[in-house]
A and B are shown apart, each in its own frame.
Chain A
């Protein structure tokens, strides 16, 4: 219950901050109306959009409408803002989800191998990858991929939203950074676990290397990995903006960035509220998962 109240407060705070900030940036009617428009035209439009009223009144109206699930109409698309934002979620979630799966599939086993044989080949290549991954910006990786895989080798389409061939490059480019982070984290956590007493006990009991690594070390190292992964999901959704632009992927991030530059208040507000709800939901899932994995973490205890 306390958690729910906290979530609602977070959403309200986020909406209030963005509500005020975007209104400080500028007057959208300058961008919406053509250059030839007069001051009267602008005043009329402000009135039509409700921007002539005091900000407190505007915010109260916004909250009231929010309760009914109405977040106003997009200034630039002339469509209801909330459905517009929600319609952009599936491509974004698909991209972030695929990127996260790739990051886990790449980072965790690699990190595990690196921890198992320090200074072995997996560890050495892993170190190179970790540096490259954490220093190479995703959009740059994306551009290199387009150059190589699309323009030179003609294996994949350069950009766009369609079937799985369109998903491979943006998801990989996006996963790059997180995969490197996961690799390092997995290696560190598993290395630490391997040094602990219970591993020694297990080994003395004659448990196989494989079982030690997977059943004991990885399970105990899993908590930070899961927490990290879930926090990455938010970052992936956010940093997808540049990837969405490079690959012409019709996503949530691009919509919001465009809306900010267009001063499309309603879409920005709807986007922030939806993002806040999403993040809170993901955090909740993470906590439940952690509690299920680790009996030491239980709500209320």
Chain B
């Protein structure tokens, strides 16, 4: 069975729905049961465990089980207390005061204090690729007492309050992390946090073993005795392990074509919620250094040639949403719902191309383009775009290469005309969206930057203002204006927000209580006794 978690919550609020949704909804009413081992299928083989000096997906998924952030976020990205119990932001947006939870201990028994928070913020500012931007305005972290930390900024940073989750800004113990260089990874015995689980064993290529932290501050949590993360690289093997019950949970465990089969399995639940913290967004960027593509009508023709709902249905097997604006539909706080996709109209596309002077040649082709695709995305994306373009007379040759070559072709060699990118919006558009449209972020060799080489002074000004606007309503207005301009200018066609899937045994309860999805701590997970 499948459902969106957000819908589930609404249903539960409506009351009486629990009976209509056996298997899952029942969980909300039941008392958690302590004990048991959670088997978690994971790929790729993890290299970094804690996202303190990396934004790697593995660090974000695995780290929160060990290291917690100051806050966690509900499904709508509203901050909730974790290591911080209360917080205030000064009216000018320059002082963030956090009151920390008392009685929290590191896994080695030492006390968690505001010194650790101060150390972590500066470590993130120095070594975390996104932390450098998130915390760029931090000039001091004051620690008036062991349970108060005050972050002082030179300029407002409105995204900061959303950046304090366990996967994005994990708080690390100063007394351990100050003993090695910022760019180094902690050794196994140094991988300690305040979190619900203690990392006990790490065998590369095989597994990670986490055991319950008996001194966790929020007793009786965590409910699980152990987590075994098993590295299983083959999708068929992951599917088989889920079907036999050897594995209890996995994120995107199988190719999209196989999701339907797992859905039909009465022992499994397929959760297709798009968790807001990741802000998925896929774009088709135009290389504006290409003379043909400098013509807005040509770009508009491409937009009209694409049936985005069909792209969702064909390339994503329906697991995703059309996301027509540069701000992902997964970020409802900032996405402008008045922006609609350009209607699918191949006839209009053809006449636009004719008017632009690109008539069909003897072979039926108007002009040819090189179409690249971020290999993180399935090849069905580029197949779909190529066919859609062919229908209006644009011949696209697909560049099908692995990631390092792709990055070189697109961001260094710039030997492409169209590229299908997957620039996630993250949890805030200043961090996730600005990079693709800010003219100062066009830098040859800088990957995931302004690929189009788009440059518009008004947009630059809007982006720069939005990044320091503390008032949420005013900031939203800036982002709405930005979206309208980009949607008109078409440096790219915004395509879809690809959904993620979590497949879990129905024994597993509360695996994704907030916006971070499975990249949260598993502190709330409990298992129904085996049947």
A residues touching B (Cβ–Cβ < 8 Å)?
A: 26-27, 30-31, 33-39, 76-79, 84, 88, 143, 146-147, 150-151, 154, 157-161, 245-248, 250-251, 254-255, 258, 261, 263
Beta-carbon contact of A157 and B246 below 8 Å? yes
Contact A250 B205 (CB under 8 A): yes
Among A27, A30, A150, A159, the residue within 8 A (CB) of B232 is A159
Asked if B244 and A250 make an inter-chain contact with CB atoms under 8 angstroms apart, the answer reads: no
A36 contacts which chain B residues (CB < 8 A)? 55, 129-130, 132-133, 448
Q: Are the C-beta atoms of A245 and B234 separated by less than 8 Å?
A: yes
* Contact residue among B204, B241, B402 (Cβ-Cβ distance under 8 Å from A250): B204
Closest 5 CB pairs between A and B?
Answer: A250-B206, A34-B129, A250-B205, A36-B129, A35-B448
Contact of A34 among B54, B230, B234, B402 (CB under 8 A): B54
Q: Kindly list 20 other residue pairs between chains A and B, CB separation below 8 angstroms, not including A159-B241, A246-B237, A254-B205.
A: A30-B407, A33-B129, A34-B54, A35-B55, A36-B132, A36-B133, A38-B446, A39-B446, A88-B205, A146-B237, A158-B244, A158-B246, A159-B237, A245-B237, A246-B234, A246-B236, A248-B231, A250-B203, A250-B231, A251-B205
Which single member of B129, B232, B244 contacts A35 (CB below 8 Å)?
A: B129
Chain B positions within 8 Å of A, measured between CB atoms, are 44-45, 47, 54-56, 129-130, 132-133, 184-185, 203-206, 230-234, 236-237, 240-241, 243-244, 246, 402-405, 407-408, 445-448
Nearest CB on A from B4, distance (A): 29
CB distance from B374 to the nearest CB of A (A): 11
Given A35-B448, A151-B243, A254-B205, are A263 and B237 neighbors across the interface (CB < 8 Å)? Answer: no
Q: Which residues of B contact A245 (CB under 8 A)?
A: 233-234, 237
- A77 and B47 form a contact (CB under 8 A): yes
Report how far A137 CA is from B407 CA in the complex, Å: 34
Report the separation of the CA atoms of residues A255 and B203 in the bound assembly, to the nearest whole angstrom.
12
For residue B132, which residues in chain A have a CB less than 8 angstroms away from its CB? 36
Q: Report whether A30 and B404 are in contact in the complex, using a CB–CB cutoff of 8 Å.
A: yes
Query: In the assembly, what is the distance between CA of A143 and CA of B238, in Å?
Result: 11
Partner of B237, one of A78, A79, A248: A248
Contact A154 B404 (CB under 8 A): no
A158 to B237, CA, bound (A): 7
- Asked if A146 and B129 sit within 8 Å, CB to CB, the answer is no
- Closest Cβ of chain A: how far from B108's Cβ, in Å? 22
With beta carbons under 8 angstroms apart, the residue of A37, A157, A255 that contacts B205 is A255
Residues of A within 8 A of B45 (CB): 258
By a CB distance below 8 angstroms, the chain B residues around A146 are: 236-237, 240
Residues of B within 8 A of A33 (CB): 129
Interchain nearest-CB distance for A239 vs B (Å): 15
